[in-house]
Amino acid sequence: MSNAPQFGLNAPQSEAVLYLDGPCLVLAGAGSGKTRVITQKITHLIEDRGYDPRTIAALTFTNKAALEMQERVGTMLKQPRQAKQLTISTFHSLGVKILRQEANNLGLKDRFSIMDSDDCYSLVQELAITTDKHIIRNIQNEISLWKNGLVEPDVALRNAKDEDEAQAARIYASYRATLQAYQAVDFDDLIRLPVELFRDNESVRDRWQRRLRYLLVDEYQDTNTCQYELVKLLVTGLGKYPMFTAVGDDDQAIYAWRGATIENLSNLQVDFPNLKLIKLEQNYRSTTRILQAANAVISNNPKLFEKALWSEHGLGEPITVHAMANDEQEADQVAVMISADHFERKNKWTDYAILYRGNHQARIIEQALRNHRIPYTISGGQSFFDKAEIKDIIAYLRLLANQDDDPAFIRAVTTPRRGIGQTTLEVLGAFSGQWQCSLFEAVFKGGIEAKLSDRQLLPLREFCNFINNLEARASRPGPGGSGDNAAQVLDDLMEAIHYESYLYDTLEERAAQSKWQNVMEFVNWLKDRGRGGKDREGEEKNVLELTQMVALMSMLEGKDEEQDAIRMSTLHASKGLEYPHVFLVGCEEGILPHKGDPDTPVEVLAQRIEEERRLMYVGITRAKRTLRITWCKKRKRAGEQVHCDPSRFIPEMQLDVGDAPPKEDEILSPRERLARMKALLATPKPQLGG
């Protein structure tokens, strides 16, 4: 097979697309067309190699990225409908798909629930018998890291370094037991459980390997141990070539705090000695100035793999740095700059992005944008699915799907209020603890009559009967497969719980109206999905399946509105995306790099700063044409104005080095420009290992 460039790709990109003799890793910097390799390869597999689209899976990091990839492939295929048959999803969605089909093999009932991180927080709070947020979060993190590292509770306990960690390990053991009792899984389990299943059950694993003939993984640098294990289990087997392509960039690894390890990149070379390594060096996204700044910043980190990026897009406009008096002025000025730029360049709003380190920075920017009447959408922040009214409805759905889901039971039974008080619930809780059954089961269990009066018990039983009746219909497919069953069940549910009047009774009118609109939007969206999407092309879903789908969506991001609006996003959520004009705000010491725990040991601190630097690199490289950096001399923290210093990453960008007046851009020929750029990039960098 020739490696001649094709499909609008450069030579190494086509090589990666055409390579099918074994596992392949594309390692390259930002904007070099890694994701493009994935979409092209999927198309190539289907159109030129005769792969059935149902046997191809591509894994990405966010639901949004998955959706974009699916749409992109759809436009490339001669038969766009085939794109719908592909599995293009996040690791977690693939996990749900596996769990749903293999629940019985894992001792789970079909109707397991997926607990969100709030539920898990409450559970840890209960088990740890404390209300100290800091302690609870720490334990929650520790449990998550153990799960993602595939560490069992007894091993965690044995290896505990101190009493705090031992205590966390004991809570981890009870936490797992409790989830099992609830017939629930948390987000980490969505990947951990399939891994355990594939490890322990060869025939199940074999079945999945037969179904998935080719696996592609985007943003590979951010996979954690558990996700890597899942990849390995899917692609290694008896008499079968591991067929996969992973693409990634070690300089963009920004999820170490969630257990991702960059070592997975080098592990790949160890675990698959015949791994084909392909590097890409041409950047197609950004101007030379932007790339220079990005390269300069990241050259301060030790390197796992050497890379040198260059671009043909010309030097471009200067990168500007703006010092602001305080955070209010920053927000206002950014809004003013965007407004002016928007009218001057006659751009769309979607051409702009404001990126920041932490969600807490968003509120003040939102207010400024509203003042200036600039439309915006937020990603990576509070998602639609995290709104209280949506979570209320989801609680009912979860309970329909799984009556043992205690957190959902408590939320649903008390919202709207139906005369069931805290004392009643406490008695019920104690009783269910004593009998080791769920709250729902406790309501009908013999002996409960002695604990609760009729007045207390009646509304509980009424509620449970209502759920039971609805549940009987919830799991059925529609009559004649019309998918209308889900819609009918949803309508009945909404009518029966009087949620609308509850909102108007408890809130002032405007708030109630807006919340009710959200609820209706959510319900209609669910109904559409139940019918297989707006065009009814996808799979139909019953209420149980819809519930699991929703649980997953809330994890990383919200619903995306397709309006012309600027994008506000955390740096983490901006990964993989690109915008013509980027504002990187709050570039101050303590914010970016993030302050973190003052007790952090020096060697850990150094690693953290490196991760923060990669985050800066991700931010810079989202920009295609212009990049503006802002920082504040003062910022309000806990109600007080505190003094701030500019981020160390600003001088690291070495803006003076390549910052020639824009005219020079026109004088240099592309070849000269390239030579100049390469010379600038040739500064020696510290080497590390591999």
Ligand X SMILES: Nc1ncnc2c1ncn2[C@@H]1O[C@H](COP(=O)(O)OP(=O)(O)OP(=O)(O)O)[C@@H](O)[C@H]1O
User: CA 248, CA 218: separation in Å to the nearest integer?
Assistant: 6
Q: Which is nearer to ligand X, 307 or 635 (CB)?
A: 307
Task: Examine the residue annotation and report whether 142 is marked as an active-site residue of this protein.
Answer: no
Distance between start and end Cα atoms, the chain: 30
Identify residue 450 by its one-letter amino acid code. Answer: A
Structure tokens that stand for 434 in this block:
């004593």
- Cβ atoms of 657 and 315 closer than 8 Å: no
Q: How far is Cα 426 from Cα 430, in angstroms, rounded to an integer?
A: 6
> Is 658 a known ligand-binding residue?
no
Contact residues for 209 (Cβ-Cβ < 8 A; gap 6+): 234, 235, 237, 240
Q: Does 481 bind ligand X (CB under 6 A)?
A: no
Residue of the chain from 41, 205, 285, 614 that contacts ligand X (CB under 6 A): 285
Cα–Cα distances in angstroms (integers) from residue 283 to residues 220, 300, 312, in the given order: 19, 20, 8
SS3 50: coil
* Cβ nearer to ligand X, comparing 16 with 550: 16
Catalytic pick among 218, 389, 404, 610: 218
E strand residue ranges, 255-382: 276-280, 282-283, 310-311, 320-324, 352-356, 376-379
219 noted as active-site residue: yes
Are 361 and 591 contacting, i.e. CB atoms less than 8 angstroms apart?
yes
Please report how close the Cβ of residue 621 comes to ligand X at its closest, in angstroms: 6
Residue 354, judged by CB atoms within 10 A of its CB (0-12, 13-18, 19+), counts as buried
Q: How many CB atoms lie within 10 A of CB 666?
A: 8
Smallest gap from Cβ 248 to Mg ion, in A, equals 9
Among 33, 558, 576, 619, binds Mg ion (CB under 5 A): 576
Under rule CB under 6 A, residue 12 binds ligand X = no
Site for ligand X in 30-49 (CB under 6 A): 30-36
Binding partner selected for residue 10 from Mg ion, ligand X, none, CB under the kind-specific 5 to 8 Å limit: ligand X
To ligand X, the closest distance from the beta carbon of 23 in angstroms equals 19
Of 13, 14, 32, 35, the residue at the interface with Mg ion (CB under 5 A) is: 35
Q: Could you tell me the two tokens for 544?
A: 């149980």
* Window of 11-19, 440-448, 513-521, 570-578 that interacts with Mg ion by CB under 5 A: 570-578
Instruction: Report if residue 576 touches ligand X, rule: CB under 6 A.
Output: yes
Q: How far is the CB of 278 from ligand X (least distance, A)?
A: 12
Contact partner, 328, from Mg ion, ligand X, none, Cβ < 5-8 Å per class:
none
For residue 8, state whether it binds ligand X (rule: CB under 6 A): yes
Q: Which two tokens stand for residue 166?
A: 């031992």
Instruction: Give the Cα separation of 340 and 386 in Å (integer).
Output: 34
Which residues in the 440-479 window bind ligand X by CB under 6 A?
none
Locus of tokens 């007080």: 640
- At closest approach, how far in Å is the CB of 62 from Mg ion? 11
- 626 forms part of the interface with Mg ion (CB under 5 A): no
Cβ at position 284, least distance to ligand X in Å: 3
List phi, psi (to 5°) of 531.
-90, 5
Q: Does 33 carry a binding-site annotation?
A: yes
- Interacting partner of 36 out of ligand X, Mg ion, none (Cβ under 5 to 8 A depending on kind): ligand X
- H or E element in which residue 640 lies: strand 640-643
The answer to the question of whether 178 is labelled as a binding residue is no
CA gap 263, 587 in Å, rounded: 29
Answer yes or no: 521 catalytic.
no
13, interface contact from ligand X, Mg ion, none, CB < 5-8 Å by kind: ligand X
Distance CA 247, CA 237 (A): 22
Nearer Cβ to Mg ion, position 60 or 224?
Answer: 60
31 is in an annotated binding site: yes
Residues that contact ligand X, how many (by CB under 6 A): 19
**Residue 28 annotated as lining a ligand binding site:** yes
30 carries a ligand binding annotation? yes
Stretch that binds ligand X, among 26-34, 427-435, 456-464, 639-647 (CB under 6 A): 26-34
- Where does this chain touch Mg ion (CB under 5 A) — which range of 319-327, 400-408, 429-437, 571-579? 571-579
316 belongs to the binding site for ligand X (CB under 6 A)? no
Q: Which residues pair with 282 in a beta bridge?
A: 310
Residue nearest to ligand X (CB): 33
- Neighbouring CB atoms inside 10 A of 217's CB total 23
- In whole angstroms, give the CA distance from residue 287 to residue 317: 8
Residue 682 assigned ligand-binding role:
no
What's the rounded Cα separation, in Å, for the pair 6 and 560? 33
- Asked if 34 is an active-site residue, the reply is yes
Q: Does 529 bind ligand X (CB under 6 A)?
A: no
Q: Is 218 an annotated catalytic residue?
A: yes
- Name the catalytic one among 252, 287, 333, 626: 252
Q: Residue 478 belongs to what H/E stretch? A: none
Decide the pairing of beta strands 24-28 and 244-248.
parallel
Set 72, 527, 529, 622: catalytic member? 622
Smallest distance, Å, CB 27 to ligand X?
Answer: 10
Least distance to Mg ion, CB of residue 251, Å: 13
Q: Would you count residue 113 as binding Mg ion (CB under 5 A)?
A: no
Measuring CA to CA, which residue among 59, 79, 90, 106 is closest to residue 212?
Answer: 59
Q: Which of residues 245-284 bind ligand X (CB under 6 A)?
A: 249, 252, 284
Total residues binding Mg ion (CB under 5 A) = 3
Q: What is the 3-state secondary structure (H, E, C) of 510-565?
A: HHHHHHHHHHHHHHHHHHHHHCCCCCCCCCCCCHHHHHHHHHHHCCCCCCCCCCCC
Strands 634-637 and 640-643: antiparallel
- Hey, is 591 helix, strand or coil? strand
Selection from 280, 341, 349, 283 nearest residue 314 by Cα: 283
Contacting ligand X (CB under 6 A), which of 6, 10, 105, 347?
10
38-50 burial, b for 16+ CB within 10 Å, e for fewer? bbbbbbbbbeeee
Active site residue 252: yes
Q: Is 576 annotated as a binding residue?
A: no
From the list Mg ion, ligand X, none, pick the one residue 55 interacts with, judged by a Cβ distance below 5 to 8 Å according to partner type: none
288 annotated as belonging to a binding site for a ligand: no
By beta-carbon proximity to Mg ion, the closer residue of 294 and 420 is: 294
Helix %, strand %, coil % for the chain, to 5?
55, 15, 30
* CB 564 to ligand X: min, Å: 19
Using CB distances below 5 to 8 A depending on partner kind, what does residue 31 bind out of Mg ion, ligand X, none? Answer: ligand X
Regarding 147 and contact with ligand X (CB under 6 A), the answer is no
Residue nearer to ligand X on the CB measure, 147 or 614 = 614
Annotated binding site for ATP: 28-35, 285
Q: Summarize as ranges the residues that interact with Mg ion (CB under 5 A).
A: 34-35, 576
Residues annotated as catalytic are 34-35, 218-219, 252, 622
- The residue ranges that bind ligand X (CB under 6 A) are 8-10, 13, 28, 30-36, 249, 252, 284-285, 576, 578, 621
Annotated binding site: 28-35, 285
